Structure 1
Amino acid sequence: MRHLGLTLAPVLLLALMLMTGCSQTASQASCPAPDRTCASAVPAQNRDRANLGPLSQSTGQTAEVRASLARQGAASSEIDSARAMSRPTVSLEANYKLTPLQNGTRNLSGNEQSTALVMDIPIYQGGRDTAALALAYSNYRASSATTATTFLSVSVAILSSDLELRRQDRTKAILTQHGKALAQLRRAVASEQTEGSATRVDITDVDRQLLQIELNQRQSSLQRLEAERTLARLRAPASIEASMMLAKLESRFPKAVAELQSLAAANNPRIAARQAEIEAAYARLSQADAAYKPRLGLRISAGLDRENYGQSDNSTDASATLNFSMPLYTGGAREASLRSREKEIEAATFDKHAILQDVGTTLAASMQRLETARAILALAQKQESGARMRSVGVKTERELGERSVFDEIRAISDIADAQLAVNNARYEADMARLTIAAECGLLSDDSISPAVQISGL
């Protein structure tokens, strides 16, 4: 028996290797590797994405997205942890007992030392390991969808800020052009005042309009600063061309709202996250049920016991213990736990319904917003054309004395108002396109939301 521990050690290691391989195969068979829905942040079916180019790289480096990717990596590690539940474990146990006094007298021969190599092999866990693995996969899918949602939010913030920035730039250009026209009118009125055909009141009217233009320009600059702050915080690339990208993307939009909703249901990461939460809630229900089922395990131990270390009485022992446990009465804890998990499923289901309703109403409102913006744009363009023609006529009539200076001021302002209406209508149309593209998952890009590698997949 002296060399039994040394003989059993290779056998234990061989058994460990065999059990590890078998348990890994069984775990993969019981919970198959996830498809691209699990390994990617958003589903890949039925979607045509925008070519985000530099925006993808920039968005992928923001702190918000990197934090989501880190949480996604943590969720990936939880899958490995859940797989380990069904695998054997090996540990080394060592004890040393010192007995300096025995029966009130000094004892120099009662010291004991034991060393054992222990293997614990789970045989049956009542479904705990399978439920834990299913929960880990569901949490990973939810984390992946959250990463995609974060990327989408950052992308929308960058694109909307770019649209706002360009709108304010166009507004400033329109106001500048308006100011130049009024300045030219002022010079003409000042010359006419010298000749006696104009009064000081006419110049005052022009000056008042010039001050209003300066005020509008400063207000536009304040709004531009907010857009610049967002772009600087998110480290957006220099040139995005959001309007051009969204115009190209519009050709991929389904015409019917129902088709848009179907596209969003398949690709929207918020919906995918809620679906993963439902799956996780069902997995927690399975966990709660499995926690009160029997479990069976085998413990194999081989070790060396020494008494009077360094003198005598060395012995080698080997043992195998079959452990079985089954809860008989839980005092109502099992039923309460199951009810709690069932309520979690109900809550997660209602959360998904709420997201679906929100996405549906958002898409319907965005389509209506887009159509309204197009109608306003067409009317504003006609208004601009008419205002230009009227301005030429009013200027000629004023020079002939048939119109007042205020009439020409109003004619020039009509041109600027029509141009601002065109500018705002284009912005509203672009924002509607952006909302539709975001809700339908068309702004997602796998290159900026990489799947965290899961060992064993």
Structure 2
Amino acid sequence: MRFAAGGKLVRTLAVTAGIALGTLPGRAVWADNLTDAFIGAYNTSGLLEQNRALLRAADEDVAIALSALRPIINWTVAVSQDYTRSRNSGVTNSVDPSNFFSGLTLSQLLYDGGASILGKQSAQETVLSTRQALIDIEQQVLFRAATAYLSVLLQEETVSIRQNNVELSAEELRASQDRFEVGEVTRTDVALSQAQLASSQADLANARGDLSTAQAEYVNAVGKLPGRTAGQPSLPNLPRSEAEAVSLAQRNHPSILSAQHQVRALDLVVQQQRAGLGPNVSLNADAGVTESYDDDDYVNDASISLNFSQPIYAGGRLAASVRRAMASRDGSRANLLNVQKNITQGVSDAYVRFQTASASLRASSERVRASEVAFDGIREEATLGARTTLDVLAAQQDLLDAQLAEIASRTERSLAAYQLLQAQGLLTAERLGLAVQIYDPTLYYNLVKKAPAQVSKQSKDLDRVLKALRRD
């Protein structure tokens, strides 16, 4: 704030950070808005990269489960030294042959009661659960970016207000000194004005420190220093009622969808463990050549067998595995109920927070208007001797508190709006329409879901994808 020559208060504070930054030295010339913060966070988040890698690991579990349904072929090379000694009719014979074997072995599962197929289906459900968990992480990253941007904006506006308050306090000190020189006020009034100026300067220093802290958090959340901020963002589209918001969250929130897929995955694990109690049929074959180091003899042989096995007793391990899988499934069902309740509460909290912040902003704006009128009037009355310096300083502090409350309420309303989006599961790059390359979780899965062999073209495509993801 500043005063014109006639002593009238002229309010120069602008609520947009672009104007507020006029008092801050050394800032960049571009303007950052909330969308820029979202884009920076999405493109640079290490947390997103970490969880994308965990999703790719879950994708590979599908390929591993599928491999149990395919033949296993091994090339075996063995060098052996036998020691045989026998006695027959009083004659002792010793045979120490040295042999070299090279051949192929094949094993193919034919029947296991569907356990391997159920294992693959469970792995697929785990992939779907992990995808939803990744979306929830994306929401957390974007909400942190929103919080960081709004915090920087709040601290910039706070610095601007406190800078103006320092100028106003200095102007009041000069006015007190002038009135003291002509005998209108006492030295006490001058001392009060000096104390007010010192307090304003201390508050300004603290505000600048808070701004530096907010900028550091912005760098961590967004990946770069904030430029000249573009002011308060427009509010996103929000539900018309709390019931509508809760209903949307129950259908759409990634935490709920992730928990649902996890329940289905563990249901399949229970079925898989039960299938493991049944018979198992496999085909085994081998072919190779055995050569002797002692002479030129060799043997070419091959065999094929059909093996049937049925667990009878395994020390209680099989039954315990079934019970363990059932307990894990029951735990996941209970977790689903907890997640649903937590999401409902989170939506309600965010909705109430937004409504409260909106009401607070309306009241704060009215408080600023009234405080400005009161301050102008009291200061004018002080020049006529009808008010004391203490009255002026008190009115100045009331106006300062009202302005700070107004920008805090405005920031709180914006934060509550984006928290409500997150609580509904809508705070994602795709739904926000961010100008980024949206991560496609199906791309990697489609390359690995058929478990390609290492020498296949698909495996080479995977190598190129992994190299690009590592950004080598």
> How much does 1:304 deviate?
2.4
Q: Within the alignment, does 1:280 sit opposite 2:265 as a pair?
A: yes
Structure 2 residue aligned with 1:137: 124
Which is worse superposed, 233-242 or 166-175? 233-242
> How much does 1:456 deviate?
4.3
Contact 2:152–2:218, Cα closer than 8 Å, also in 1: no
For residue 39 of structure 2, the aligned residue among 56, 63, 66 is 56
Aligned counterparts, 1:92-131, within 5 A: 92-99=75-82, 102=85, 110-131=97-118
Q: Distance in 1 between matches of 2:289 and 2:296?
A: 15
Structure 2 residue aligned with 1:85: 68
Structure 2 residue aligned with 1:453: 444
CA 1:187–1:229 in 2, change beyond 3 Å: closer, same or farther? Answer: same
Deviation track 1:10-62 (CA, whole Å, cap 9, x = no partner) reads xxxxxxxxxxxxxxxxxxxxxxxxxxxxxxxxxxxxxxxxx956633543432
SS of 2:77's equivalent in the other structure is strand
> How much does 1:243 deviate?
7.0
CA 1:309–1:71 in 2, change beyond 3 Å: closer, same or farther? Answer: farther
CA 1:265–1:85 in 2, change beyond 3 Å: closer, same or farther? Answer: same
> How much does 1:425 deviate?
0.7
Q: Distance in 1 between matches of 2:230 and 2:49?
A: 23
Contact 1:59–1:448, Cα closer than 8 Å, also in 2: no
Structure 1 residue aligned with 2:21: none
Deviation track 1:255-279 (CA, whole Å, cap 9, x = no partner) reads 1222212222233222232223212
Structure 2 residue aligned with 1:343: 327
Q: Distance in 2 between matches of 1:52 and 1:391?
A: 38
Structure 2 residue aligned with 1:19: none
> How much does 1:422 deviate?
0.8
SS of 2:444's equivalent in the other structure is coil
Which is worse superposed, 433-442 or 271-280? 271-280
Structure 1 residue aligned with 2:157: 170
Contact 1:123–1:298, Cα closer than 8 Å, also in 2: yes
Q: Within the alignment, does 1:428 sit opposite 2:394 as a pair?
A: no
Q: Distance in 2 between matches of 1:221 and 1:350?
A: 48
Q: Within the alignment, does 1:394 sit opposite 2:378 as a pair?
A: yes
Compute the TM-score of the two structures, normalised by the length of structure 1. 0.81
SS of 2:75's equivalent in the other structure is strand
Q: Distance in 2 between matches of 1:441 and 1:242?
A: 26
Structure 2 residue aligned with 1:208: 195
> How much does 1:436 deviate?
0.6
Structure 2 residue aligned with 1:191: 178
Aligned counterparts, 1:310-389, within 5 A: 310-312=295-297, 314-389=298-373
For residue 422 of structure 2, the aligned residue among 438, 444, 450 is 438
> How much does 1:85 deviate?
0.5
Q: Distance in 2 between matches of 1:322 and 1:100?
A: 32
> How much does 1:286 deviate?
2.1
Contact 2:277–2:318, Cα closer than 8 Å, also in 1: yes
CA 1:242–1:429 in 2, change beyond 3 Å: closer, same or farther? Answer: farther
Q: Distance in 2 between matches of 1:213 and 1:199?
A: 22
Q: Distance in 2 between matches of 1:214 and 1:359?
A: 45
Deviation track 1:92-118 (CA, whole Å, cap 9, x = no partner) reads 23333324775577757x333333322
Aligned counterparts, 1:296-311, within 5 A: 296-307=281-292, 310-311=295-296
Q: Percent identity?
A: 21
CA 1:111–1:179 in 2, change beyond 3 Å: closer, same or farther? Answer: closer
The amino acid that maps onto 1:139 is: T
CA 1:152–1:239 in 2, change beyond 3 Å: closer, same or farther? Answer: farther
For residue 410 of structure 1, the aligned residue among 390, 394, 399 is 394
SS of 1:255's equivalent in the other structure is coil
For residue 154 of structure 1, the aligned residue among 137, 141, 144 is 141
Q: Distance in 1 between matches of 2:116 and 2:84?
A: 48
Deviation track 1:172-222 (CA, whole Å, cap 9, x = no partner) reads 111111222221111111111111111111111112222222232233334
Contact 1:162–1:240, Cα closer than 8 Å, also in 2: no
Q: Within the alignment, does 1:71 sit opposite 2:62 as a pair?
A: no
Deviation track 1:54-94 (CA, whole Å, cap 9, x = no partner) reads 63354343222111111111111111111111011111233
CA 1:54–1:368 in 2, change beyond 3 Å: closer, same or farther? Answer: closer
Q: Distance in 1 between matches of 2:55 and 2:73?
A: 30
Unaligned runs of 5+ in 1: 1-50
Q: Distance in 1 between matches of 2:152 and 2:427?
A: 20
The amino acid that maps onto 1:95 is: A
Structure 2 residue aligned with 1:292: 277
CA 1:201–1:244 in 2, change beyond 3 Å: closer, same or farther? Answer: closer
Contact 2:235–2:414, Cα closer than 8 Å, also in 1: no
The amino acid that maps onto 2:120 is: L
Q: Distance in 1 between matches of 2:99 and 2:144?
A: 70
Q: Distance in 1 between matches of 2:131 and 2:312?
A: 40
Contact 1:158–1:236, Cα closer than 8 Å, also in 2: no
Structure 2 residue aligned with 1:224: 211
Contact 1:123–1:297, Cα closer than 8 Å, also in 2: yes
Q: Distance in 1 between matches of 2:332 and 2:231?
A: 37
**Higher RCO, 1 or 2 (CA under 8 Å, sep at least 6)?**
1
Contact 1:294–1:324, Cα closer than 8 Å, also in 2: yes
Q: Distance in 2 between matches of 1:87 and 1:239?
A: 57
The amino acid that maps onto 1:434 is: Y
Contact 1:87–1:122, Cα closer than 8 Å, also in 2: yes
Contact 1:391–1:408, Cα closer than 8 Å, also in 2: yes
The amino acid that maps onto 2:268 is: A
SS of 1:141's equivalent in the other structure is helix
Say what the alpha-carbon RMSD is for the aligned residues.
Answer: 2.6
